[in-house]
Amino acid sequence: MFVEPHLGRNLDSAKSGSIEVVCGCMFSGKTEELIRRLNRALIAKQKVEIFKPSVDKRYHSEKIVSHAEREIRSTPVNFANDILLLAGDCDVVGIDEAQFFDESIVEVCNTLANNGKRVIVAGLDMDFEGKPFGPMPQLLAIAEFVTKVHAICAQTGELASFSFRLSESKTRVVLGEKDKYEARSRGAFLEGMNRHHKD
């Protein structure tokens, strides 16, 4: 059972920031977990700002929406550095689909945490080839708390950690849902990749 990071603060000490990363494959509940944590902060009357890359318009141009259709308002940004300008004096910063940002997202998260903010980041840890995705490895390295969530393999029913692309496209970023991707276990992922290479 996952225990959420300790949220208490010693009021006599300087405000301490932190970085939490929720990662996993497609359909593993990353965004669902991000929304859950952000809603808890909102219920606690903390100031929350939420961001997502403007390239991600799959469900809504502004809101963050999970596959289960839970949603929360957000601000789409073109560049990671925009987050620093827009975060203001909030207590908590949420960032979805972090893998779509460039490497500067790592320094942005560090800066926010160093300024006393709780930073909660969600993103794919691997791309469709099973390789580390964009800035995610660096974010995992600097985070105080890391949660890896899993989906269920569409082929075997086992736990899934890989996002298998159903199309032949070799472009790294192809936005899509169940029409383009399947969550797969390691064995089913490798079998599918081998079949693609043979074809």
pLDDT in tens, 77-113: 999 999 999 999 999 999 999 999 999 999 999 999 9
Least confident of 6-20, 37-51, 101-115: 6-20
The helix or strand, by DSSP H or E, that contains position 139, with its residue range, turns out to be helix 136-142
Active-site pick, 62, 97, 107, 168: 97
Separation CA 103–CA 4 (nearest Å): 27
Are the C-beta atoms of residues 50 and 94 closer than 8 Å to each other? Answer: yes
Residue 23, phi then psi, degrees to nearest 5 = -130, 165
pTM reported for the whole predicted model? 0.86
Are the C-beta atoms of residues 64 and 72 closer than 8 Å to each other? Answer: yes
Q: Which amino acid is at 77?
A: V
Would you state the structure tokens that stand for residue 172, as one six-digit string?
């790294």
Least confident of 12-21, 78-87, 109-118, 128-137: 12-21
- Give the C-alpha distances (Å, rounded to integers) separating 95 from 64, 73, 161, 168, 169: 10, 12, 21, 30, 27
- Domains within the chain, CATH numbers bracketed: 18-149 (3.40.50.300)
Separation CA 178–CA 46 (nearest Å): 35
Active site residue 33: no
Structure confidence at residue 177 as a pLDDT band (50, 70, 90): low
Q: What is the pLDDT of residues 54-73, one digit of tens each?
A: 886 555 455 566 655 566 78
